[in-house]
Structure 1
Amino acid sequence: MTSPADVAAALGRARLVPVVVLDDAADAGPLADALVAGGLPVAEVTFRTAAAADAIRAMADRGDLLLGAGTVLTPAQVDQAVAAGASYVVSPGLSRAVVERCADHGVLALPGAVTATEVQAALEFGLGTVKFFPAGTSGGAPAIAALTAPFADVRFIPTGGIGPADLAEYLRIDAVVAVGGSWMVPRDRIRAGDFATVRRLTAEAVALGRADQG
């Protein structure tokens, strides 16, 4: 099993995390093809639909994507996600029960934290990386930059309300491991089977991320 540190490092190399909502697990394969072809073999599949576990399983079984489960609210969902092949678990908020169940399974936990109190609580749970969510309405990149002063060793994955126009602003912050977004995996395009558009948007997002690194 890949260690939490290895998974965090892989997310850092990707720089982008597509946040996916799948209504039908049958779309998982074509979506995975589009992400890989677009140069971004990583995804966070959210537990917002009944198809999530089956979709994660279908994508994880390929062996060429780094799969995470998102919107995980309970220990039972952690169990489902790990059983399906998720290598990391993302939550909108900070739950001790969820974090501890992730530790039991040896998978990376990425809970949501946007205030100094929440970040400090995450540190007390032994975590060094948190999801900054919802980023767009919680102060955005300037808020993350401010938090890095008292929490110099904490790393952030901002998600929520981020698009191509403000991607670079987040990626310029050294403490940002990667940025989560759904603009390259629009739910309506996936529903429509328009995976050519998903591939194009993914490739464009990857190019934006690389341009910032350059």
Structure 2
Amino acid sequence: MTNNVQVLEAYKVVPVIQISSLDQVRPLAEQLITNDLPVAEITLRTKPSLTSLEVIAKEFPEILLIAGTVLNNQQAHSAFNAGASMIVSPGFSPQTIRFCLDNGLDIIPGAMTPGEMEQALDFGLKTIKFFPAEAAGGTKMLKAVSAPYKELRFMPTGGIHPANVNDYLALSSVVCCGGSWMVDPKLMADNDWPEVGRLIRHARTLTSNNSN
């Protein structure tokens, strides 16, 4: 997983995307590439999500393609077949983790308790999703757990926005942050791609000077 994590660390922010229509996929991918944020976490919350993964994998191979909100190994298998190169889950499912490890598929599982973090280490995982970040104690919680679990690095997601993203990125244990503000579902539904592009550029500018 080293190469993919290095990509995440380089870009610092991961757009968490909810696709409501296949018509959104190509213009969104173009905005991500044009504005220097070729990373997409497509959440498996909507009907077009798996087909969206297939389109991006086929037509935009330069994008690091992540399947998000993966709840079980069946969804992980479907995402893998659709072309995802990484799985992100909101919670900690040993079955899903084992499936991904057995099939050479990178996974960043969700975890918010020391017990889950220790299980991640038992699986040999070094990067986890801290979710829901703000509700689970935010940067104070991350500072606290980073002391005993020095091997772990985190991708905080949940409640991340322009006003607090750099607070998280300032922590040496944070690889990157997941956020959806630059890919607002309403803007995409309205086909306001210029504004989506502006928000992506702003996110890159906002976080580019943060070298934790």
The TM tier, using the shorter chain, reads: over 0.9
How far apart in 2 are the matches of 1:63 and 1:127?
26
For each residue in 1:6-52, what CA deviation from the matched residue of structure 2 results, as whole angstroms up to 9, or x when unmatched? 11111111111000000112211100011111210001000000111
Partner residue in 1 for 2:152:
154
Alignment partner, residue 134 of structure 1: 132
Structure 1 unaligned spans of 5+: none
Match of 2:66 in 1: 68
Paired position in structure 1 for 2:27: 30
Aligned residue for 1:213, secondary structure, equals: coil
TM-score, L = length of structure 2: 0.97
C-alpha RMSD of matched pairs (Å):
1.1
Using the aligned pairs only, state the percent identity: 40
Deviation string, structure 1 residues 58-105 (Cα, Å, up to 9, x no partner): 112221100000000111111111111111101010001110111122
Which of residues 80, 104, 107 in structure 1 aligns to 2:105? 107
Q: Which amino acid aligns with 1:34?
A: Q
In structure 2, C-alpha distance between the alignment counterparts of 1:203 and 1:72, rounded to whole Å: 28
| Contact preservation (8 Å) 1:20, 1:185 | yes
CA distance in 1, matches of 2:19, 2:140: 32
Question: Helix, strand or coil: the match of 2:65?
Answer: strand
Equivalent position of 2:52 in the other structure: 55
Out of 10, 14, 28, the position equivalent to 2:11 is 14
Q: How many residues align?
A: 211
Contact 1:35–1:198 (8 Å) recurs in 2: no
Which residue of the partner structure matches residue 92 of structure 2? 94
Distance in structure 1 (CA, Å) of the matches to 2:102 and 2:192: 39
Q: Secondary structure at the match of 2:203?
A: helix
Distance in 2 (alpha carbons) for counterparts of 1:201 and 1:43: 15
Aligned: 1:45 with 2:77: no
Give SS of 2:183's match.
coil
Q: TM-score with structure 1 length normalisation?
A: 0.96
Distance 2:122 2:22 in 1: 37
In structure 2, C-alpha distance between the alignment counterparts of 1:60 and 1:9, rounded to whole Å = 20
Q: Distance in 1 between matches of 2:108 and 2:121?
A: 12
Match of 1:210 in 2: 208
The 3-state SS of whatever aligns with 1:130 is strand
Matched residue type, 2:206? L
Q: Residues of 2 paired with 1:33 and 1:51: CA distance?
A: 18
Contact 1:69–1:90 (CA under 8 A) maintained in structure 2: yes
- Native 8 Å contact 1:8 1:108 kept in 2: no
> 2: CA distance between counterparts of 1:163 and 1:154?
23
Supply the distance in 2 between the matched residues of 1:132 and 1:202 (Cα, whole angstroms). Answer: 22
- 2:123 is matched with 125
Instruction: Indicate if the aligned counterparts of 2:50 and 2:78 stay in contact, CA closer than 8 A.
Output: yes
Match of 1:5 in 2: 2
Structure 1 CA distance for aligned equivalents of residues 42 and 132 of structure 2: 17
Q: Does structure 2 retain, via aligned residues, the 8 Å contact 1:26–1:55?
A: no
